[in-house]
Structure 1
């Protein structure tokens, strides 16, 4: 009989695969899809907010620091004016008259105007003298033996440093105190008396 069924093209009854899997409730399927879409939407909104904040921060930085290269170059001109004024002896400044007086006044005016314009655009001198040495703002040129101030204190400014906002355009070149109050000898910890620390 089975041979006859096979010969006639009839197939034995098999289980319907659609009936093997449980039916999915359409409400639950839509609720899951809704939750997934809501999650994607919230993530997209969060990403867009982060992008907006990052863009605002980049624009603010660009506004603040866009002139940094130009300002750094202008410091060279400012230094030249300051040096020109420093080489004129004080008594010559006081007694100068005529065209020499006009030249000195013109250099002083140009120096003041350069400083004003730099300050207007956020370029400010770095306070150094009397401050504790900060390698992020100061460049040590030499050490000065001075027992009257704590070690590591800036005692002389060779060249003024400048910053724009929080960024250093040029560090201040300074002389730093050595052997002051902070360098007073302290008792060596036990077991370290014979250790040579000079290396």
Structure 2
């Protein structure tokens, strides 16, 4: 019986492993050729020198710088926007203050106009009644009751006169006291001048038609006679 052999196994068996002596010879040959053992890696080289720098670090730095510039620009824009809003708010506040002042002035003006109108209406109404008072005063000064019936009638209309005067006083009407006062064009209307040395020139010597006040305002000017300098004669 013939044994079958594998050619690969035979080749491996015939090829002997290199001995230590052959390895030593090879090393000696290298030393003779070069004089030194070649260094494949420098043990003192730093990692950065050993490997080339990565481009990603430059890209990261560029990204950070761009983000910072964008953030700074956004902050500046917001700051300008805030300043514009503050200016707008100040303008609105000033407009509001001016509007409030205008409204207050309008309110005061309309209130004064209302009060003046009320006083003017009162003056016009009461002025019409003063002629009635004048008639009562003329009747009292000219009529002299002689009989009991005339006296009764006199007391009757004098009662009406007194009631009217009392009501006028309640409304703020008061008579002027012009006689003996210096002539005042704001209060008096001079209808006559009388030369005399009994009174200083410009003195009211007689009140022809009574004047009246309502509060601090003139209801009716008094018609008066004013003293003048005596004529040389």
Same fold (TM over 0.5): yes
Q: Are positions 1:170 and 2:225 aligned together?
A: no
CA RMSD in angstroms comes to: 2.1
CA distance in 2, matches of 1:154, 1:139: 10
* Aligned ranges 1:34-49 → 2 under 5 Å: 34-49=89-104
Query: Using the alignment, how far apart are the partners of 1:131 and 1:157 within structure 2?
Result: 10
Question: 2:141 matched to which residue of 1?
Answer: 86
Question: What's the offset of the Cα at 1:75?
Answer: 0.8
Q: Distance in 1 between matches of 2:108 and 2:81?
A: 41
In structure 1, the residue matched to 2:186 is 136
Superposed, 1:64-143 pairs within 5 Å as: 64-89=119-144, 92=145, 96-143=146-193
Looking at CA atoms only, which structure, 1 or 2, has the larger radius of gyration? 2
The TM-score, its normalising length taken from structure 2, stands at 0.61
Which one has more relative contact order, counting CA pairs under 8 Å at least 6 apart?
Answer: 1
Task: Please tell me whether the aligned partners of residues 130 and 154 of structure 1 are also in contact (alpha carbons under 8 angstroms).
Answer: yes
Moved more, 78-87 or 162-171: 162-171
Deviation by residue 1:36-77 (Cα, 9 ceiling, x = unmatched): 000001001111111222232233333433221111111111
Q: Distance in 2 between matches of 1:32 and 1:60?
A: 42
Q: In structure 2, what is the Cα distance between the partners aligned to 1:142 and 1:125?
A: 21
Q: Give the 4+ runs in structure 1 shifted more than 4 A.
A: none
Q: CA deviation at 1:170?
A: 1.9
Q: Which runs of 5+ in 1 are unaligned?
A: 1-22, 181-199
TM-score, length basis structure 1: 0.70
Higher relative helix content: 2
Q: Does 1:55 align with 2:110?
A: yes
1:30 Cα deviation from its structure 2 partner:
0.6
Q: Distance in 1 between matches of 2:134 and 2:229?
A: 32
State how many pairs are aligned: 154
